[in-house]
Amino acid sequence: MTAPLRLATRGSRLARWQASWVAERLEPRAELVIVSTVGDQRTDVPLSEIGGQGVFVKEVQAAVLSGAADAAVHSAKDLPAAAAPGLVLAAVGPRADPRDALVGSRLAAIPTGGTVATGSARRQALLASSRPDLRFAELRGNIATRLEKAAGFDAIVMAVAALERLGLHERIAEALDPTWFVPQVGQGAIAVECRDDDTDVADRLAAVDDHLSRLAVTAERSFLATLGGGCTLPVGAYATVGPSGRLTLRAVLASAVTGPVHRHTAEGDDPVALGESVAGALLDAVSAAG
């Protein structure tokens, strides 16, 4: 009899939901291995001060590398663009709604000089580009914690997918158009990693891989890898796949939260090459702007 796979995951309600979604689609049903990460432990400190992107995945990845788990389940947006040594991205689940959402108020209804809470430099930069009058506050914690804090601000920003997966769609005041409010790389997708020499596990994880979602996320991750930036940089990318299989990649890049937001959109058939091309165009734009 085939033994169930062991899936390492963070212990938050959303992380457990995502890992359970993967587990239920494997045969036999996989078991969860709960791991505590630095990002979960240090909710009082901005992400940029405790390592930026990667603080929610390193310990989960370590569980796989040590043999304590067979695979790791992540929010794809939490994964650094460069693959961890010894691991491979074995599956990308079907992508949920990638948009960001305002909770508490629609953007147009926020009063002049109002305060929006979000720990994301990308979200701050995009909001500031449309509403330079806004002020921003740091916001950390799990979904429930952030929603509890929402009453203290004019609005907070969260991922639509996270709210929908936890049955909290009614908290959304406004979902922001991703062609303007470009999401974080991988937002809305579930990523599953395993050891790069474990072909048996990789083959079993193929059951949850969605080809179109993988193409889109690959293009976005190629873009981020080319930039060499982490989550402290105001950067976003959103790829879609047309009926013919051709990719469209929209991306934004700013050198600072209060600086100009540079945008570029391109199409292509090769997700890696497309990501590299769009990143190059935006780097050139930032350089030319001084």
Q: What is the DSSP string of 31-87?
A: EEEEE--HHHH-TTS-GGGTTSTTTTTHHHHHHHHTTS-SEEEEEGGGS-SSPPTTE
- Across residues 74-103, what is the average pLDDT? 96
Nearest Cα to Cα of residue 213 among 249, 242, 240: 240
Is the pLDDT at 51 greater than 70, yes or no?
Answer: no
For the chain, the average pLDDT equals: 93
Nearest Cα to Cα of residue 131 among 123, 119, 139: 123
Global confidence as pTM: 0.93
Is the pLDDT at 45 greater than 90, yes or no?
Answer: no
Q: Higher pLDDT residue, 163 or 1?
A: 163
Nearest Cα to Cα of residue 257 among 67, 142, 102, 127: 127
Is the pLDDT at 259 greater than 50, yes or no?
Answer: yes
CATH for the stretch 224-289: 3.30.160.40
Nearest Cα to Cα of residue 198 among 91, 86, 92: 86
Do 224-289 and 6-93+189-209 fall under one CATH topology?
no
- Terminal-to-terminal C-alpha distance of the chain: 62
User: Dihedral, CA atoms, 252, 253, 254, 255, nearest 10 degrees?
Assistant: 180
| Active-site annotation holds for 40 | no
- Across residues 112-134, what is the average pLDDT? 96
pLDDT of the residue at 72: 98
Q: Which CATH superfamily is domain 100-175 in?
A: Periplasmic binding protein-like II (3.40.190.10)
Q: Which residue among 78, 97, 100, 154 is the active-site one? A: 78
Reduce the secondary structure of 114-163 to three states and give it as a string. CEEECCCHHHHHHHHHHCCCCEEECCCCCHHHHHHHHHHCCEEEEEHHHH
Show me where the domains of the chain are located.
6-93+189-209, 100-175, 224-289
Q: Higher pLDDT residue, 55 or 63?
A: 63
> In the structure, what pLDDT confidence band is assigned to residue 256 with cuts at 50, 70 and 90?
confident
Residue-wise pLDDT tens digits, 10-30: 999 999 999 999 999 999 999
> In the structure, what pLDDT confidence band is assigned to residue 52 with cuts at 50, 70 and 90?
low
Q: Which residue's entry shows tokens 């981020």?
A: 224
> In the structure, what pLDDT confidence band is assigned to residue 89 with cuts at 50, 70 and 90?
very high
Q: Is the dihedral of CA 9, 236, 183, 232 positive or negative?
A: positive
* pLDDT > 70 fraction of the chain, expressed in percent and rounded: 92
pLDDT of the residue at 50: 39
pLDDT of the residue at 290: 73
Residue-wise pLDDT tens digits, 185-224: 999 999 999 999 999 999 999 999 999 999 999 999 999 9
Interatomic CA distance for residues 200 and 165, integer angstroms:
30
Nearest Cα to Cα of residue 241 among 123, 98, 127, 128: 98
CATH for the stretch 6-93+189-209: 3.40.190.10
